[in-house]
Structure 1
Amino acid sequence: MKIGLYFGTFNPIHTGHLIIANHMAEYSDLEQVWMVVTPHNPFKKKNTLLDNHHRFEMVYQATKDYDKLSVSDIEFNLPQPSYTINTLTYLFEKHPNHEFSLIMGEDNLKGFHKWKNNDIILKNHDLYVYPRISEGKTEAQLKNHPKIHRIDAPVVEISSTFIRQAIRDGKNCKPLLSEPVAHYIDIMNFYK
Structure 2
Amino acid sequence: MNIGLFFGSFNPIHLGHLMIAQAMLDNTEIEQVWFIVSPQNPFKKSKALLHEFDRLEMVELAIGDNFNFRASDLEFHMPRPSYTVDTLTYLSEKFPQHQFKLIIGEDNLKSFPKWKNAEKILELYELYVYPRPNAVASIELKNHPHVKMVDAPMVDISATFIRRAIQEGKSVNYLVPEKVAEHIYARKLYK
TM bucket, shorter chain:
over 0.9
Q: Which secondary structure does the structure 1 equivalent of 2:70 belong to? A: strand
What are the within-5 Å matches in structure 2 for residues 169-184 of structure 1? 169-184=168-183
What letter matches 2:71 in structure 1? V
What letter matches 1:130 in structure 2? Y
What letter matches 1:175 in structure 2? Y
> Could you tell me how far apart the structure 2 residues matched to 1:17 and 1:76 are?
20
Aligned to 1:97: 97
> Could you tell me how far apart the structure 1 residues matched to 2:83 and 2:19 are?
25
RMSD between superposed Cα atoms in Å = 0.9
Aligned to 1:150: 149
> Could you tell me how far apart the structure 2 residues matched to 1:141 and 1:162 are?
32
Moved over 2 A (4+): 138-141
> Could you tell me how far apart the structure 2 residues matched to 1:26 and 1:139 are?
26
Aligned to 1:64: 64
Deviations 1:66-109 (A, max 9, x none): 22111111100000001000001111111111111100110011
Q: Contact between 2:85 and 2:117, CA under 8 Å: does it hold in 1?
A: yes
> Could you tell me how far apart the structure 1 residues matched to 2:145 and 2:155 are?
25
What letter matches 2:183 in structure 1? Y
> Could you tell me how far apart the structure 2 residues matched to 1:173 and 1:9 are?
18
Q: Contact between 2:129 and 2:149, CA under 8 Å: does it hold in 1?
A: yes
What letter matches 1:174 in structure 2? N
Shift of 1:26: 2.1
Q: Contact between 1:37 and 1:71, CA under 8 Å: does it hold in 2?
A: yes
Using structure 2 for the length normalisation, give the TM-score.
0.97
Query: Please, which runs of 5 or more residues in structure 2 have no aligned partner?
Result: none
Aligned to 2:20: 20
What letter matches 1:108 in structure 2? N
Deviations 1:134-169 (A, max 9, x none): 243x23321211111101100000000000000001
Aligned to 1:189: 188
Q: Which secondary structure does the structure 2 equivalent of 1:102 belong to? A: strand
Q: Which secondary structure does the structure 1 equivalent of 2:85 belong to? A: helix
What are the within-5 Å matches in structure 2 for residues 70-81 of structure 1? 70-81=70-81
Identical pairs, percent: 53
Q: Contact between 2:7 and 2:103, CA under 8 Å: does it hold in 1?
A: yes
Q: Which secondary structure does the structure 2 equivalent of 1:123 belong to? A: helix
> Could you tell me how far apart the structure 2 residues matched to 1:135 and 1:144 are?
16
Aligned to 2:132: 132
Q: Which secondary structure does the structure 1 equivalent of 2:47 belong to? A: helix
> Could you tell me how far apart the structure 1 residues matched to 2:21 and 2:4 are?
9
Aligned length: 191
Q: Contact between 1:15 and 1:178, CA under 8 Å: does it hold in 2?
A: yes
Query: Please, which runs of 5 or more residues in structure 1 have no aligned partner?
Result: none
> Could you tell me how far apart the structure 2 residues matched to 1:149 and 1:11 are?
26
